[in-house]
Amino acid sequence: MAKYFLLLNLIAVLSFCCVVLAFEPSPLQDFCVADPASTAKVNGLACKDPKSVGAEDFFFSGLHLAGNTSNTFGSKVTPANVAQIPGLNTLGISLARVDYAPWGINPPHTHPRATEIVTVLEGFLQVGFVTSNPENRHITKVLKKGDVFVFPIGLVHYQRNVGNGNAVAIAALSSQNPGVISIANAVFGSEPAIATDILAKAFQVDATVVAQIQSKF
Protein backbone atom coordinates (compact mmCIF):
# COMPACT_ATOMS: atom_id res chain seq x y z
CA MET A 1 0.00 0.00 0.00
CA ALA A 2 2.84 2.40 0.87
CA LYS A 3 4.44 1.75 -2.54
CA TYR A 4 1.08 2.43 -4.20
CA PHE A 5 0.75 5.86 -2.54
CA LEU A 6 4.39 6.63 -3.33
CA LEU A 7 3.71 5.87 -6.99
CA LEU A 8 0.64 8.10 -6.97
CA ASN A 9 2.65 10.94 -5.43
CA LEU A 10 5.35 10.51 -8.06
CA ILE A 11 2.78 10.64 -10.86
CA ALA A 12 1.25 13.76 -9.32
CA VAL A 13 4.64 15.48 -9.11
CA LEU A 14 5.52 14.58 -12.69
CA SER A 15 2.11 15.75 -13.88
CA PHE A 16 2.59 19.04 -12.04
CA CYS A 17 6.04 19.50 -13.58
CA CYS A 18 4.72 18.83 -17.04
CA VAL A 19 1.94 21.37 -16.61
CA VAL A 20 4.34 24.02 -15.30
CA LEU A 21 6.94 23.43 -18.01
CA ALA A 22 4.48 23.27 -20.91
CA PHE A 23 5.71 26.38 -22.69
CA GLU A 24 6.10 27.33 -26.35
CA PRO A 25 8.81 30.02 -26.75
CA SER A 26 8.62 30.11 -30.55
CA PRO A 27 5.99 31.95 -32.64
CA LEU A 28 2.87 29.89 -33.23
CA GLN A 29 2.09 31.54 -36.56
CA ASP A 30 4.09 32.83 -39.53
CA PHE A 31 4.15 36.38 -38.17
CA CYS A 32 2.44 38.77 -35.80
CA VAL A 33 2.76 42.21 -37.37
CA ALA A 34 2.38 44.85 -34.68
CA ASP A 35 -0.85 46.83 -34.60
CA PRO A 36 -0.02 50.04 -32.70
CA ALA A 37 -3.66 51.15 -32.94
CA SER A 38 -4.88 48.17 -30.93
CA THR A 39 -6.08 48.78 -27.36
CA ALA A 40 -5.43 45.16 -26.35
CA LYS A 41 -3.15 44.83 -23.32
CA VAL A 42 -0.54 42.19 -24.11
CA ASN A 43 3.14 41.58 -23.38
CA GLY A 44 4.39 43.42 -26.43
CA LEU A 45 2.11 44.54 -29.24
CA ALA A 46 -1.12 43.00 -30.51
CA CYS A 47 -1.20 41.41 -33.97
CA LYS A 48 -2.62 43.08 -37.04
CA ASP A 49 -5.14 41.09 -39.10
CA PRO A 50 -2.90 38.91 -41.34
CA LYS A 51 -5.10 39.70 -44.32
CA SER A 52 -4.14 43.38 -44.08
CA VAL A 53 -0.39 42.72 -43.86
CA GLY A 54 1.84 43.83 -46.74
CA ALA A 55 5.49 44.17 -47.70
CA GLU A 56 5.80 47.60 -46.06
CA ASP A 57 5.20 45.98 -42.65
CA PHE A 58 8.53 44.16 -43.04
CA PHE A 59 10.51 47.02 -44.58
CA PHE A 60 12.58 49.98 -43.41
CA SER A 61 14.86 52.30 -45.34
CA GLY A 62 17.34 54.55 -43.59
CA LEU A 63 20.36 52.66 -42.30
CA HIS A 64 22.37 53.91 -45.29
CA LEU A 65 21.99 57.49 -44.03
CA ALA A 66 24.55 59.00 -41.65
CA GLY A 67 23.07 60.17 -38.34
CA ASN A 68 23.51 63.71 -37.08
CA THR A 69 26.29 63.60 -34.47
CA SER A 70 26.14 67.31 -33.64
CA ASN A 71 25.16 66.79 -30.02
CA THR A 72 26.68 66.54 -26.54
CA PHE A 73 27.89 62.97 -27.00
CA GLY A 74 28.97 63.16 -30.62
CA SER A 75 26.95 60.10 -31.60
CA LYS A 76 23.61 59.18 -33.12
CA VAL A 77 21.68 55.90 -32.96
CA THR A 78 19.30 55.08 -35.83
CA PRO A 79 17.12 52.16 -34.67
CA ALA A 80 15.39 49.55 -36.77
CA ASN A 81 13.20 47.81 -34.21
CA VAL A 82 9.51 47.03 -33.93
CA ALA A 83 8.68 50.74 -33.79
CA GLN A 84 10.08 51.14 -37.31
CA ILE A 85 9.36 47.64 -38.66
CA PRO A 86 6.02 46.28 -37.34
CA GLY A 87 6.78 42.87 -38.82
CA LEU A 88 9.53 42.35 -36.21
CA ASN A 89 6.89 41.90 -33.51
CA THR A 90 7.46 38.61 -31.59
CA LEU A 91 10.52 37.72 -33.73
CA GLY A 92 13.16 38.65 -31.15
CA ILE A 93 15.60 40.60 -33.31
CA SER A 94 16.38 44.19 -34.32
CA LEU A 95 19.13 46.39 -35.71
CA ALA A 96 20.59 49.83 -35.15
CA ARG A 97 23.11 52.02 -36.95
CA VAL A 98 25.39 54.08 -34.74
CA ASP A 99 27.36 57.05 -36.06
CA TYR A 100 30.22 58.62 -34.10
CA ALA A 101 31.99 61.93 -34.58
CA PRO A 102 35.73 61.91 -33.85
CA TRP A 103 36.06 61.02 -30.14
CA GLY A 104 32.30 60.81 -29.83
CA ILE A 105 30.78 58.34 -27.39
CA ASN A 106 27.72 56.18 -27.02
CA PRO A 107 27.57 56.69 -23.24
CA PRO A 108 27.22 53.87 -20.68
CA HIS A 109 23.83 52.18 -20.97
CA THR A 110 22.11 48.82 -20.78
CA HIS A 111 19.56 46.91 -22.84
CA PRO A 112 17.31 45.17 -20.30
CA ARG A 113 15.83 42.79 -22.85
CA ALA A 114 18.64 42.02 -25.29
CA THR A 115 22.18 40.89 -25.95
CA GLU A 116 23.92 43.11 -28.50
CA ILE A 117 26.49 42.24 -31.15
CA VAL A 118 28.19 45.17 -32.84
CA THR A 119 30.14 45.26 -36.11
CA VAL A 120 32.42 48.17 -37.03
CA LEU A 121 31.88 49.38 -40.59
CA GLU A 122 34.23 52.35 -40.51
CA GLY A 123 36.78 53.76 -38.08
CA PHE A 124 38.10 52.62 -34.72
CA LEU A 125 35.97 52.07 -31.63
CA GLN A 126 36.92 51.46 -28.04
CA VAL A 127 34.16 49.26 -26.62
CA GLY A 128 33.62 47.86 -23.17
CA PHE A 129 31.21 46.39 -20.66
CA VAL A 130 31.25 45.90 -16.89
CA THR A 131 30.36 42.63 -15.19
CA SER A 132 27.90 42.40 -12.32
CA ASN A 133 28.69 42.81 -8.60
CA PRO A 134 30.89 42.11 -6.79
CA GLU A 135 33.66 41.82 -9.40
CA ASN A 136 32.63 44.75 -11.64
CA ARG A 137 35.28 43.76 -14.16
CA HIS A 138 35.79 46.19 -17.02
CA ILE A 139 36.21 44.19 -20.24
CA THR A 140 37.35 46.45 -23.06
CA LYS A 141 38.93 46.32 -26.52
CA VAL A 142 39.69 48.60 -29.45
CA LEU A 143 37.95 47.49 -32.65
CA LYS A 144 38.75 48.26 -36.26
CA LYS A 145 36.72 47.91 -39.47
CA GLY A 146 35.25 44.42 -39.74
CA ASP A 147 35.66 43.57 -36.06
CA VAL A 148 32.74 42.19 -34.01
CA PHE A 149 32.09 42.46 -30.27
CA VAL A 150 29.32 41.17 -27.99
CA PHE A 151 27.65 42.95 -25.06
CA PRO A 152 25.84 40.40 -22.85
CA ILE A 153 22.22 41.12 -21.95
CA GLY A 154 21.66 43.62 -19.16
CA LEU A 155 25.30 44.62 -18.63
CA VAL A 156 26.43 48.25 -18.69
CA HIS A 157 28.38 48.96 -21.89
CA TYR A 158 29.61 51.81 -24.06
CA GLN A 159 31.50 52.73 -27.23
CA ARG A 160 33.93 55.54 -28.02
CA ASN A 161 35.39 56.62 -31.36
CA VAL A 162 39.17 56.66 -30.84
CA GLY A 163 39.99 57.75 -34.37
CA ASN A 164 40.39 61.17 -35.95
CA GLY A 165 37.67 60.48 -38.51
CA ASN A 166 34.02 59.46 -38.28
CA ALA A 167 33.11 55.92 -37.25
CA VAL A 168 30.09 53.79 -38.08
CA ALA A 169 28.81 50.56 -36.52
CA ILE A 170 25.84 48.27 -37.01
CA ALA A 171 24.39 46.62 -33.92
CA ALA A 172 22.11 43.57 -33.87
CA LEU A 173 20.02 42.93 -30.76
CA SER A 174 18.20 39.82 -29.59
CA SER A 175 14.83 41.52 -29.10
CA GLN A 176 12.39 43.38 -31.29
CA ASN A 177 12.15 45.88 -28.42
CA PRO A 178 15.49 45.77 -26.54
CA GLY A 179 14.94 48.91 -24.49
CA VAL A 180 17.67 51.35 -23.45
CA ILE A 181 18.57 52.57 -19.97
CA SER A 182 21.15 55.36 -20.14
CA ILE A 183 22.93 55.24 -16.79
CA ALA A 184 23.46 58.97 -16.32
CA ASN A 185 19.91 59.83 -17.40
CA ALA A 186 18.38 57.17 -15.16
CA VAL A 187 20.39 58.13 -12.08
CA PHE A 188 20.55 61.91 -12.41
CA GLY A 189 17.59 62.70 -14.64
CA SER A 190 14.75 60.59 -13.26
CA GLU A 191 11.27 62.06 -12.72
CA PRO A 192 10.74 62.63 -9.88
CA ALA A 193 14.40 63.01 -9.00
CA ILE A 194 16.24 60.61 -6.71
CA ALA A 195 16.97 62.47 -3.47
CA THR A 196 20.28 64.32 -3.57
CA ASP A 197 21.46 62.89 -0.25
CA ILE A 198 20.91 59.34 -1.52
CA LEU A 199 23.05 59.95 -4.59
CA ALA A 200 25.67 61.83 -2.57
CA LYS A 201 26.06 58.82 -0.28
CA ALA A 202 26.01 56.33 -3.16
CA PHE A 203 28.68 58.19 -5.14
CA GLN A 204 30.57 59.35 -2.02
CA VAL A 205 30.59 63.01 -3.07
CA ASP A 206 29.19 66.22 -1.66
CA ALA A 207 25.50 66.90 -2.23
CA THR A 208 26.37 70.08 -4.14
CA VAL A 209 28.22 67.97 -6.73
CA VAL A 210 25.13 65.79 -7.18
CA ALA A 211 22.89 68.84 -7.52
CA GLN A 212 25.20 70.27 -10.17
CA ILE A 213 25.09 67.06 -12.19
CA GLN A 214 21.30 66.78 -11.82
CA SER A 215 20.91 70.30 -13.19
CA LYS A 216 22.33 69.11 -16.52
CA PHE A 217 19.48 66.64 -16.95
pTM: 0.85
Angstrom distance (rounded) from CA 124 to CA 142 = 7
Report the b/e string of 96-133 with b at 16+ CB within 10 A.
bbbbbbeebbbebbbbebbbbebebebbbbebbbbeee
Q: Cα dihedral angle (62, 63, 64, 69), rounded to 10 degrees?
A: 100
From residue 36, alpha-carbon distances to 30, 43, 66, 88, 108 in Å are 19, 13, 28, 13, 30
Question: Is 106 annotated among the ligand-binding residues?
Answer: yes
| pLDDT per residue as tens, the chain (217 positions) | 555 555 555 555 455 554 444 445 677 789 999 998 898 888 889 999 999 999 999 999 999 999 999 999 999 999 999 999 999 999 999 999 999 999 999 999 999 999 999 999 999 999 999 999 999 999 999 999 999 999 999 999 999 999 999 999 999 999 999 999 999 999 999 999 999 999 999 999 999 999 999 999 9
Helix axes 207-214, 196-203, angle to 10 degrees: 110
Among 147, 154, 148, smallest CA distance to 174 is for 154
Tell me: is residue 43 an annotated ligand-binding position: no
User: Is 138 assigned to a binding site?
Assistant: no
Give the Cα separation of 115 and 154 in Å (integer).
7
